[in-house]
Amino acid sequence: MTFLGGRRGLAVLAAVLVAVAAIVWLVWPSDGPPQGEDVVIPVVDGPADDQKVLIDASYFAPAGGGKAPAVLLGHGFGGSKDSVRDQAGQLAEQGYAVLTWSARGFGRSTGEIALNSPDYEVKDVRQLIDWLAKKPGVLLDAAGDPRVGMAGGSYGGAIALMTAANDPRVDAIAPSITWYDLADALFPEASGAGPAQGVFKKMWAGIFFSAGGSGLNPSTQADGLARLLSGSSGQPAPDGITPEQAQCGRFLPAICTVYQEIAATGKATPEAIELLRRSSPVSVQGRIKVPSLIIQGQRDSLFPLGHADLNAKAIAATGAPVEVAWIAGGHDGGDAEADFVLAQTLNWFDAHLKKSGAATGEGFTVSRDGGRDPGTRQNVLLHAEGAAYAGLGGTVTTRLDLLGPDQEVATPPGGSPAAISSVPGLGSLLGGGAGGGGSAGASLDLPGQVATFQTRPLDTALTVTGSPTAEIKVYGEGEVTLFAKLYDAASGQLAVLPGGLAAPLRVTATPAGTPVKVALPAIDRRVEPGHVLRLSVTTTDMAYALPSQPSVHRVGLGSTTLTMPVDAGLAAPVTGPAWWTWAFPLVSVLAAAVILLTGRPRRAAIAPDAALAEVPLEITGLTKHYKNGHRAVDDLSFRVEKGQVLGLLGPNGAGKTTTMRMMMGLIHPDEGEIRIFGEKVVPGAPVLSRLGSFVEGPGFLPHLTGRDNLKLYWQATGRPAADAHMEEALEIAGLGAAVERPTRTYSQGMRQRLAIAQAMLGLPDLLVLDEPTNGLDPPQIAEMRRVLRAYATKGRTVIVSSHLLGEVEQTCSHAVVMHRGRLVSAGPVTELLSRGALNGSTRLEDVFLDLIGEKA
């Protein structure tokens, strides 16, 4: 039987093809998202509504046609409408009319960057909404008032907030990683002193402004970040740049001037704060009254989680529904969770624009490290969900005791060398593995510049969600800039600074000690039992503007209490074992049972025939076809009586061996049956225990000796060792000392004799031998004939097949002649010979040739 033969082979092939087709269908790339239609929308803005600007936009018609709510999708700082093309296509596929645009001063849009000012960008976007109201595919709430939501990240998120405050036509917003107060973002101060006392975040500010400064050549469409990394020197300077342009890029001159000033001094002037706040939701508190999904990043030293908190609180105060999500990544890198953000945004717009889907009901979602996926070995994120956003203070707080003496900290001259907490724009390079839940980060503090205070090792795990608070005291003279960080530390491991975040402080020290309440950066982190929390207060941070004068101060604890906010309502969705882990094995075991039960041989008509109990062999109507259609055995019937030595005679291919194999239950007959002592032969029929056989050559384990082969064979039959008559059998084999050698060393004749001896083990009542004298020398042949004749005398029966006529003539009492699978003649050998005499020859050879019809 070939391995893949016949119909079963076809079925296997079909199954494989179906499986391959299914896989191909599953992984075949689907058609790309809809391609937008490029449009240029002229708008008029400026404080006096007199500046004409051309906005480069792309409109994506909703998939499925009809009227659909619109989504305005903004891009990040330094990007253009092309940066959000993919998301726009995906939103359009979900049935939204999507408009993306390059903000003024970016991409191919004209005009200058005004940082989402209500006088400029906001006015532009209001006119984009006007434009949308005229599109036939956009659903209208009223004439000129389309149903519109706004989404976008960073700069694009801020415009969503600012527009929602200034245009009542906006129905829902989903801003991500954006600011509440740009002045506070650039001049943070963690004790609440405000941006006027804030520490200048110089690296981020520099990147921010250089991103707006490059791209003077309007045809340059490179991605903002790529431009950041390649550096401006990588691009040839466009011709005809004025000195003013070289300095200010595409910024509005007023903004440029303010930036020059603050960057030079590192101090926020009232004018600068005023200007930055005009572009910030802080200036429009209470005016954003639409459903808002606020998404913020945990790895974001530019716009930390506190900005989202203030946005959410301001909007929630108006009574509008607000949900908050903290994703893993942010401006400092990590996993930006683009798919999650898109899914959340869609969900939000489905609920508040389409009003079809139900809102998730989860007011607060936090992405947490889910460890490694056991299959892919990639870090995965879990999304812990809570019914309501609790704010940075948590629903409950845990107080821990901080320990540590007062310590001297030095401010180095020129602010160098400086500690590193995050490297803006490159944060992910610093934080160990990218992703990783987005809250792991390595950090470097310099000795001599840092005071550390530690808790005792935690007894139980503590999950901090929000902004921990502590109180320190600063002793000395004059003003000092400090940075407070809260590490998760354990022995034998590098301490981890969650999110790579530091809280900057500007403190006026006094000899008696100035108490400072520090709001540490908001984080979400599980601190394992045995770990300690370490409060580090350092004088430097690479990302910030530092004083250039050296000084030394002493830092101690103002209070030993470290307050850790905990959100008890947050819980990761319980994921039990995947459903298929129990379903598949169950189905498979059931399938296995079906496969086995349907494959059972039919047990009908197996009753022994009592009348034949003393008849060693009766074959009736036996037929066997092979796969190729060849009839090996064709309607064969004969009977063998006790005490006979029967010769099964026929030329090669007559079907002798096939018949013998069917006698042994190795081959299933197609028709007819074989009965041995009245019992029907089926595979493994117990009556076969009365049959000894040697068919088509010996079969031994080559590594075992002749004796061991016979011994183990007999043990395999499970019969008593005494019944084997082992020594008699070995005598017949006549191998002498060779029985103790492995059979692989035997000659053909030795194996042959051992195999016949094996067939005789237990002295079976019926002995079936296929060409037993093949390979034996003449004396051995003579001996074999004697043995076989003697074997039959004790009421036992022997069947010998041969194609050698002389063999049968000299050994057998009876003969069955087969030719091409059919019975030609059966009877005593003497009868055959006498029949031959009638034809003039008493040689069996002539009789045989006559019988098979091939006589010359």
Partner 1 sequence: MTATGYAPGRTLPLRVEFVRQFRRRRTMVMFALLAALPWILVIAFQFGPNNNRGGGNGLRISDLATEGGLNFAAFALSVSASFLLMVAVALFCGDTVASEANWSSLRYLLAAPIPRDRLLRQKLIVALTYSAAAVTVVPVMAVVAGTIAFGWHDIRVPGTGELIPAADVLPKFGIVILYAMVSNLVVASLAFLLSVSTDSPLGAVGGAVGLVIVSTILQAVEALGGLREFLPTFWNTAWLDALAPVPDYSGMIKGAAVAVTYAAVLLAFAFRRFRRKDVVS
Give the footprint of partner 1 on residues 542-601 (CB under 8 A): 577-578, 580-582, 584-585, 587-589, 591-593, 595-596, 598-601
Q: What residues between 397 and 436 interact with partner 1 by CB under 8 A?
A: 432
Q: Are 250 and 132 in contact (CB under 8 A)?
A: no
- Residue closer to partner 1 by CB (options 358, 627) is 627
CB of 493 to partner 1, least distance (A): 6
Kindly state the number of chain residues that form the binding site for partner 1, as judged by CB under 8 A.
79
Q: Are 173 and 290 in contact (CB under 8 A)?
A: yes
Q: Are 486 and 551 in contact (CB under 8 A)?
A: no
Instruction: Choose which of 205, 268, 555, 688 interacts with partner 1 (CB under 8 A).
Output: 688
Tell me the β-bridge partners of 99: 59, 72
807, 806, 824, 826: which is closest to 816 by C-alpha? 826
Token pair recorded at residue 729: 């059998």
- Residue closer to partner 1 by CB (options 724, 815) is 724
- Residue closer to partner 1 by CB (options 418, 759) is 759
- CA atoms of 856 and 842, how far apart (whole Å): 16
- Alpha-carbon torsion 452, 458, 464, 470, what sign? negative
- CA atoms of 81 and 91, how far apart (whole Å): 14
135, 130, 159, 160: which is closest to 145 by C-alpha? 130
CB of 23 to partner 1, least distance (A): 7
- Residue closer to partner 1 by CB (options 494, 572) is 494
- Residue closer to partner 1 by CB (options 356, 581) is 581
- Residue closer to partner 1 by CB (options 254, 666) is 666
3-class SS string, 768-790:
EEECCCCCCCHHHHHHHHHHHHH
Instruction: Choose which of 637, 717, 745, 830 interacts with partner 1 (CB under 8 A).
Output: 717
CB of 748 to partner 1, least distance (A): 13
The helix (run of H) or strand (run of E) holding residue 819 is strand 814-819
- Alpha-carbon torsion 634, 637, 641, 647, what sign? negative
Binding mask 598-637 for partner 1 (x = CB under 8 A): xxxx-----------x------------------------
- CA atoms of 699 and 751, how far apart (whole Å): 8
Determine the interface stretch with partner 1 among 121-129, 264-272, 615-623, 658-666 (rule: CB under 8 A): 658-666
CB of 765 to partner 1, least distance (A): 8
Q: Beta strands 691-694 and 766-770: pairing type?
A: parallel
Instruction: Choose which of 254, 342, 442, 612 interacts with partner 1 (CB under 8 A).
Output: 442
CB of 691 to partner 1, least distance (A): 7
Cβ density class 154-185: b for 16+ within 10 Å, e for less: bbbbbbbbbbbbbbebbbbbbbbbbbbbbbbb
Q: What residues between 731 and 770 interact with partner 1 by CB under 8 A?
A: 758, 762, 764-765
CB of 573 to partner 1, least distance (A): 14
The one-letter code for the residue type at 351 is A
Instruction: Choose which of 48, 605, 716, 737 interacts with partner 1 (CB under 8 A).
Output: 716
Q: Beta strands 51-60 and 37-45: pairing type?
A: antiparallel
Token pair recorded at residue 145: 């008032």
CB of 698 to partner 1, least distance (A): 7
The one-letter code for the residue type at 196 is A
Q: What residues between 693 and 712 interact with partner 1 by CB under 8 A?
A: 693, 695-704, 708, 712
Determine the interface stretch with partner 1 among 57-65, 205-213, 289-297, 663-671 (rule: CB under 8 A): 663-671
In the numeric block, the tokens 């491991």 are attached to 493
- Residue closer to partner 1 by CB (options 168, 702) is 702
Q: What residues between 13 and 52 interact with partner 1 by CB under 8 A?
A: 23, 26-27
Phi and psi at residue 62, to the nearest 5°: -65, 140
Q: Are 648 and 799 in contact (CB under 8 A)?
A: yes
- Residue closer to partner 1 by CB (options 708, 783) is 708
- CA atoms of 485 and 555, how far apart (whole Å): 14
CB of 575 to partner 1, least distance (A): 8
759, 656, 626: which is closest to 699 by C-alpha? 759
- Residue closer to partner 1 by CB (options 177, 761) is 761
- Residue closer to partner 1 by CB (options 278, 368) is 368
CB of 376 to partner 1, least distance (A): 8
Q: What residues between 373 and 392 interact with partner 1 by CB under 8 A?
A: 373-377
Q: What angle do CA 43, 45, 50 make, to 5 degrees?
A: 100
Instruction: Choose which of 661, 675, 707, 796 interacts with partner 1 (CB under 8 A).
Output: 661
3-state secondary structure of 145: strand
CB of 119 to partner 1, least distance (A): 48
CB of 84 to partner 1, least distance (A): 25
3-state secondary structure of 310: helix
Q: Are 409 and 547 in contact (CB under 8 A)?
A: no
CB of 502 to partner 1, least distance (A): 21
Tell me the β-bridge partners of 244: none
Token pair recorded at residue 53: 């600007």
Determine the interface stretch with partner 1 among 230-238, 272-280, 640-648, 717-725 (rule: CB under 8 A): 717-725
CB of 760 to partner 1, least distance (A): 13
Instruction: Choose which of 217, 230, 508, 689 interacts with partner 1 (CB under 8 A).
Output: 689
CB of 352 to partner 1, least distance (A): 31
In the numeric block, the tokens 């999507």 are attached to 98
Answer yes or no whether residue 492 interacts with partner 1 by CB under 8 A: yes
